[in-house]
Structure 1
Amino acid sequence: MSTMVAASLESLLRRRKPGHSLEAPFYTSPEIFEADLDIVFRRHWIYVGVEPDVPEPGDCMVIDIDRASVIIARDDDMGLRAFHNVCRHRGARLVHDEKTTVGNIVCRYHQWTYGLDGSLLFAEHMGPDFETACHGLKKVHLRNVAGLIFICLADEPPADIEDMARDLEPYIAPHDIANTKVVQQIDLIEEGNWKLTMENNRECYHCSANHPELTIPLFAYGFGYSPDGVDDLGREQIARYDGLVCELEARCEANGMAAREIDHLDDRVTGYRAQRLPIDQHGESQTMNTQVACKKLLGDLKDSKLGGLSVWTQPNSWHHFMSDHIVTFSVLPLSPERTLLRTKWLVHKDAVEGVDYDLRNLISVWVATNNQDGELVGYAQAGARSPAYEPGPYSVHTEMLVEKFVNWYVGRMSAHNAAA
């Protein structure tokens, strides 16, 4: 980052008004986008996938974060490892498919061959003094949090991933991600800056007007509401919702599952939040009829009415865990005004399509919701380009988590600038 860009960014960060959206350059500037990649995506823990993306020894997955390409591999001991997807000979890309299975990792260019632990096994014609031990694949830090895979490209990753793991594992573990399978993945390109995608996710102010499918199973009250002007019917609905929250917490805790809200979205380097929220009507799953989409429940769960566990991590993910299936979301920046939203749906590894679940029913709520959100993010990006744009105020009742995301972002960018 040039001195001029750093000074401009520092000025923008200093004058950020709490409780308001960011200034337009944060959403449109190529220079700030590059700073985001450097400071956020190359130095923090990034959510990239789940254990069943690479279920067996030799299974590999490739993740691209800007110019970095990373191989995530399952080794022969069932461990997970991550390496830069670059041959140590002359730098060719090694694995070209998003998902594949290999015996060893072999460079197509000159057949340098690496084991699943990243060690160089074979390099022909390199002479008697060549040391294979010095030319293994470059490692990338990886942390498996109860089946959610995070990587960090920094030399020294933030150590507080251990705090997040300790706090989140009791919430996630009963859903037994390791014994699930990915039955659908959809990549959606949103025409907006990655921060707008994240901000849109962190609130449900827009839900009642834009998400008819999502608001069948979910209560907007779960994401905040304004007490001003609530009529008698509204007060009855809020009281009912509050009662359902208490019932759900008791039900989950009786099943040995963590349920109560924990929130460290903007007070940690590795921010996170978790809470189980009630599901309306039948109370089972985030589906159009609010019943389970998969007859085979996850892990050892016996009770289908466990609401939905929502997990958020900074800077790029959110997740919904039900008794019967899981939906995970990762956000990866592509350009200042384009973002990849990757959504995966998981069910029990032994569930059979057409017998235990109908795929269309399983994915319908979030397919519709993602498409609607993508359109909204595009609207927000178009507005940020306008000379009339200026930061607007957040709702103190419904956009609290947006403020926490922006607080986290500004805090991490400012901390880097101060240390530079």
Structure 2
Amino acid sequence: MVDLVSQLTHRKKGYTLEAPFYTDPEIFEADMDVIFGRHWIFVGVDVDVPEPGDVMVVKVHQTEVAIVRDDDGVIRAFHNVCRHRGARLVHDDKTTVGNLVCRYHSWVYDTTGALIHAEHMGQDFDKSCHGLKPVHCRSLEGLLFICLAENAPADFDEMERQIAPYLAPHNLRDAKIAYEHDLLEHGNWKLTIENNRECYHCGANHPELTVPLFAYGFGFDPKELDPAEREHAENYACMLNDNHRDWESQGLPSKEIDRLDDMVTSFRTERLPLAGAGESHTLNTERACKKLMGNLTNAKAGALHLWTQPNSWHHFMGDHAVVFSVLPIDAEHSILRTKWLVHKDAREGIDYDLQNLIGVWMATNQQDGDLVGYCQQGVRGKGYVPGPYSPHTEMLVEKCTNWYVGRMMAHLAQTRAVA
């Protein structure tokens, strides 16, 4: 049995985790209990269930959650389990219903989760005691989060207070999903997140993604720069400050907020400029969709990024948005779920070309998936020892790892105190 307390206590700051954190089934189950079972998890967008009666099912390890827009337009979440004898209730990833009907014995629930019909249960049976079991569900300006715990972390409100003004101009609730894609990654979920939290690897591995990106926006060692490179870095810093000032004067909050390692519900956001035409994550750096998001009038709105712990990252541009979630399967496999959003009135083939819209991130996701697989193969072997993070380009990976260790330690300390 893995001594999780010892493993966490002796973790060396500034280094990757010991191999069992990426390979051991017991630690994976602890991750599912503590991290994915007790924190806010990003699972989709409001427009996954755009109309009353629309349902989306999300699987978080062994737990399925049905997310439903009720008849009054309120988005709710329930365990996807009939309250009679535990049958799976909704069988499709997405569907539309009048009521939720169990196929086993035809118990019927309305879209608020209330049991409204159950035959042959006797006169003393109280339907009001057998509604669907609710799951905490919150929408952050159109981004959907759930929490499986009985008591969800209360600091979601603080994240919402700080992040909502950044997201509001993009108006995700007035968008539609143009495309979505699931990629099976042969790696532990933490390797996927670690890979995302840095761009140290980007230059050598992402020829499509780096076209619209500025190299100096993702960290560098100033001592390694020659005079020309130092001048370029200084110019980028000035441009970033100028862009932040200009965007904020237009009502687009832009300056960095970094709460990756000092909140339970942790996050980071910043709006960054794009190179070339400066409009979008496309190979020609021009907008992929003619119709802009929300009420934006300027395609050169940069790229607003948002990370939330433990399982998401997102990019919001003037013309479209891309949202990502990591859903663990087992200790060595994960699903990366990506959704591309455009304005709800944008027409495929007229306002946007789908392949142009999704091309950069379809390529980048596969490249990252391959890299995660290489890491998983490496950490399995006897030659693996924790390696050092770069203090100049991987400082945010360190913050994410610190958050993970801190949340696991806090739970174990609480468990020991109760015992």
State the TM-score, normalizing by the size of structure 2: 0.98
d(CA) in 1 for partners of 2:361, 2:187: 19
1:356 and 2:351 equivalent?
A: yes
Which residue, out of 233, 244, 256, partners 2:251?
Answer: 256
The corresponding residue for 2:83 is 88
Q: Tell me the amino acid that sits aligned with residue 410 of structure 1.
A: V
Which residue, out of 3, 11, 15, partners 2:6?
Answer: 11
The corresponding residue for 2:331 is 336
d(CA) in 2 for partners of 1:186, 1:220: 28
Kindly provide the CA deviation profile for residues 362-420 of structure 1, in whole angstroms up to 9, marking residues without a partner as x: 01110110000000001111110110110111000000110011000000000011111
**Contact 1:20 1:393 (8 Å CA) reproduced:** yes
d(CA) in 2 for partners of 1:63, 1:237: 45
The corresponding residue for 1:151 is 146
The corresponding residue for 2:183 is 188
d(CA) in 1 for partners of 2:215, 2:307: 17
The corresponding residue for 1:178 is 173
d(CA) in 2 for partners of 1:406, 1:252: 32
The corresponding residue for 1:235 is 230
Identity between Structure 1 and Structure 2 (%):
62
Which residue, out of 49, 61, 69, partners 2:64?
Answer: 69
Which has the larger displacement, 244-253 or 262-271?
A: 244-253
In the TM superposition, residue 193 of structure 1 has moved relative to its aligned partner by 0.4
Does the residue aligned with 2:358 lie in a helix, a strand or coil? Answer: helix
Q: Tell me the amino acid that sits aligned with residue 98 of structure 2.
A: G
**Contact 1:273 1:312 (8 Å CA) reproduced:** yes
d(CA) in 2 for partners of 1:228, 1:211: 25
Which has the larger displacement, 49-58 or 217-226?
A: 217-226
In the TM superposition, residue 254 of structure 1 has moved relative to its aligned partner by 1.8
The corresponding residue for 1:407 is 402
In the TM superposition, residue 125 of structure 1 has moved relative to its aligned partner by 1.1
Does the residue aligned with 1:42 lie in a helix, a strand or coil? Answer: helix
Alignment of 1:125-144 (within 5 A): 125-144=120-139
In the alignment, structure 2 segments of 5+ residues that lack a partner are: none
Q: Tell me the amino acid that sits aligned with residue 419 of structure 1.
A: Q
In the TM superposition, residue 247 of structure 1 has moved relative to its aligned partner by 2.4
In the alignment, structure 1 segments of 5+ residues that lack a partner are: none
The corresponding residue for 2:164 is 169
Which residue, out of 266, 271, 275, partners 1:276?
Answer: 271
Q: Tell me the amino acid that sits aligned with residue 33 of structure 2.
A: D
Does the residue aligned with 2:38 lie in a helix, a strand or coil? Answer: coil
Kindly provide the CA deviation profile for residues 40-60 of structure 1, in whole angstroms up to 9, marking residues without a partner as x: 001000000001100000000
d(CA) in 2 for partners of 1:221, 1:20: 23
Please report the RMSD computed on the Cα atoms of aligned residues, expressed in angstroms.
0.8
1:225 and 2:259 equivalent?
A: no
In the TM superposition, residue 244 of structure 1 has moved relative to its aligned partner by 2.2
1:111 and 2:106 equivalent?
A: yes
Alignment of 1:378-389 (within 5 A): 378-389=373-384
The corresponding residue for 1:209 is 204
Does the residue aligned with 2:184 lie in a helix, a strand or coil? Answer: strand
The corresponding residue for 1:302 is 297
Does the residue aligned with 1:78 lie in a helix, a strand or coil? Answer: coil
In the TM superposition, residue 235 of structure 1 has moved relative to its aligned partner by 1.7
In the TM superposition, residue 248 of structure 1 has moved relative to its aligned partner by 1.6
d(CA) in 1 for partners of 2:177, 2:232: 36
The corresponding residue for 2:366 is 371
Q: Tell me the amino acid that sits aligned with residue 134 of structure 2.
A: K
The corresponding residue for 1:395 is 390
**Contact 1:248 1:306 (8 Å CA) reproduced:** no
**Contact 1:190 1:377 (8 Å CA) reproduced:** yes
The corresponding residue for 1:20 is 15
In the TM superposition, residue 102 of structure 1 has moved relative to its aligned partner by 0.4
In the TM superposition, residue 239 of structure 1 has moved relative to its aligned partner by 2.3
d(CA) in 1 for partners of 2:385, 2:413: 26
In the TM superposition, residue 243 of structure 1 has moved relative to its aligned partner by 2.4
The corresponding residue for 2:40 is 45
d(CA) in 2 for partners of 1:301, 1:401: 30
> How many residue pairs end up in the alignment?
415
d(CA) in 1 for partners of 2:190, 2:340: 23
In the TM superposition, residue 238 of structure 1 has moved relative to its aligned partner by 1.1
d(CA) in 2 for partners of 1:59, 1:236: 54
In the TM superposition, residue 222 of structure 1 has moved relative to its aligned partner by 1.4
d(CA) in 1 for partners of 2:207, 2:49: 35
d(CA) in 2 for partners of 1:117, 1:395: 49
The corresponding residue for 1:123 is 118
The corresponding residue for 1:101 is 96
d(CA) in 2 for partners of 1:354, 1:240: 39
Does the residue aligned with 1:88 lie in a helix, a strand or coil? Answer: coil
d(CA) in 2 for partners of 1:141, 1:245: 38
